[in-house]
């Protein structure tokens, strides 16, 4: 009976030890994956234990040995095995580095080339715009030396409302006779007392010129010349933006009508003045033109005109209208030379008229009613 009990106890102790050993092995497996886990091992019989370990025993006599934890620094300091590259891998790495360096240099060269190409395109575009603008303005036709004598002005009204002032500089040295006539009509200082006050805008050629005038024949008091027209004094190479030209009455004859140009022309009229201020008013009038005919869509009138007296470079004031009678001195013989005799002018007019009548072009034009502003072309 006692022998049977001993066998049962031994079997019970053995089973418990096996269960504990299984649990300890599981904990040991977990400790391999976490550095902070504790390593356990158990032995049913007493074995050799290190001095640095802690041994505990339970009430059954089984001992548990707690092993001290190994520091992680020891694991981290273990050098990893280095793999030796083969010759082919070294050659491929060198080739890739050299290829990447060449690719970077090529991309840099492409960027620099694109940058300079854009600069060239911008420069060509700027020069093209500048040259086209110079052609529109007619810079090539504008003389290098322009000397302005008198300075006159027009006050323009649009349908009765004042829109601004146009300041005009007369080229007295180029066209002294026509400038004198124009000056007298601006100031009203001639014997006839005529002025540009109340003159209507006759026609607008869109993007080309504005035409003022009141008929084909003029009435002036410049002695020594035909009272219905003045001779042509100076013909330039062409018109330019802001220039004032007289409209021809015929061959070597100028009418009282004049044009203010807003662009260049391929013909050579007589330029006697230029706009030196208020060109925005001219552009506003030009915007009132129509593509279907030359009649302006609105009524533009010269409500006031006169001469400006320049007191300083930046201070220009109009002079009183009553003083204009004493300003104009007429034709200045000391400045422009002696006047041409009247009989010579009459003979020259007769000869020029005979040449026009005898020419075929002149016979074709006789009898046709053409608007006076058509002489612009």
d(CA 163, CA 157): 6
Question: What number is the average pLDDT over the span 116-130?
Answer: 88
pLDDT in tens, 143-152: 767 778 788 8
How far lies 26's CA from each of 29, 59, 68, 162, 236, in Å?
5, 23, 18, 106, 114
d(CA 258, CA 175): 14
Q: Which of 329, 315, 134 is nearest to 241 (CA)?
A: 134
CA quadruple 73, 77, 78, 83: dihedral, nearest 10: 140
- Cβ–Cβ < 8 Å for 147, 173: yes
State yes or no: pLDDT of 24 exceeds 60: no
Order of all β-strands in the sheet with 54-57: 40-43, 63-66, 54-57
How far lies 13's CA from each of 6, 58, 159, in Å?
11, 13, 127
User: 256 forms bridges with which residues in the sheet?
Assistant: none
Q: Strand pairing of 243-250 and 230-231?
A: unpaired
Q: How confident is the model at residue 277 (pLDDT cuts 50, 70, 90)?
A: confident
Range from 136-145, 146-155, 335-344, 365-374 carrying the lowest mean pLDDT: 365-374
Question: What number is the average pLDDT over the span 162-186?
Answer: 86
Coil, strand, or helix at residue 206?
coil
pLDDT in tens, 221-242: 676 677 777 888 888 777 888 8
User: 266 forms bridges with which residues in the sheet?
Assistant: none
Has this prediction a pTM greater than 0.85? no
Q: How confident is the model at residue 115 (pLDDT cuts 50, 70, 90)?
A: very high
Range from 91-95, 200-204, 224-228 carrying the lowest mean pLDDT: 224-228
Q: How confident is the model at residue 323 (pLDDT cuts 50, 70, 90)?
A: very low
Q: What is the mean pLDDT of the chain?
A: 70
CA angle 251, 242, 284 (to 5 degrees): 115
């Amino acid at each position: 009976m006692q022998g049977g009990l001993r066998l049962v106890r031994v079997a019970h102790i053995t089973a418990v030890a096996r269960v504990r050993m299984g649990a300890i092995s599981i904990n040991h497996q977990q400790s391999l994956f976490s550095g902070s886990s504790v390593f356990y091992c158990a032995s049913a019989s007493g074995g050799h234990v290190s001095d640095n370990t802690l041994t505990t025993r339970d009430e059954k006599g089984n001992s548990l040995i707690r092993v001290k934890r190994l520091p992680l620094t020891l694991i981290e300091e273990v050098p990893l095995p280095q793999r030796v590259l083969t010759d082919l891998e070294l050659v491929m790495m060198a080739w890739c580095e050299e290829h990447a360096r060449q690719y970077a240099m090529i991309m840099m060269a492409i960027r620099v080339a694109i940058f300079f190409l854009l600069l060239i395109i911008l420069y060509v575009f700027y020069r093209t715009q500048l040259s086209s603008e110079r052609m529109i303005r007619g810079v090539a036709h504008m003389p290098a030396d322009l000397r302005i004598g008198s300075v006159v002005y027009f006050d323009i009204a649009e349908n009765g409302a004042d829109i601004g002032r146009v300041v005009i500089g007369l080229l007295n040295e180029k066209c002294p006779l026509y400038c004198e006539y124009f000056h007298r009509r601006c100031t009203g200082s001639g014997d006839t007392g005529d002025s540009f006050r109340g003159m209507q805008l006759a026609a607008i050629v869109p993007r080309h010129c504005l035409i003022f005038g009141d008929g084909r024949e003029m009435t002036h008091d410049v002695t020594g010349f035909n009272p219905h027209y003045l001779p042509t004094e100076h013909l330039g190479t062409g018109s330019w933006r802001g220039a004032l030209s007289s409209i021809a009455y015929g061959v070597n004859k100028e009418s009282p009508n004049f044009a203010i140009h807003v662009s260049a022309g391929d013909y050579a009229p007589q330029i006697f003045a230029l706009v030196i201020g208020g060109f925005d008013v001219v552009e506003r009038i030009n915007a009132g033109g129509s593509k279907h005919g030359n009649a302006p869509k609105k009524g533009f009138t010269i409500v006031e005109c006169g001469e400006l007296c320049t007191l300083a470079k930046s201070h220009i004031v109009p002079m009183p209208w009553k003083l204009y009678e004493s300003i104009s001195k007429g034709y200045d013989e000391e400045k422009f030379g002696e006047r041409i005799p009247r009989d010579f002018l009459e003979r020259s007019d007769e000869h020029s008229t005979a040449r026009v009548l005898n020419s075929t072009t002149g016979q074709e034009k006789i009898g046709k009613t053409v608007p006076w502003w058509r002489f612009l072309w």
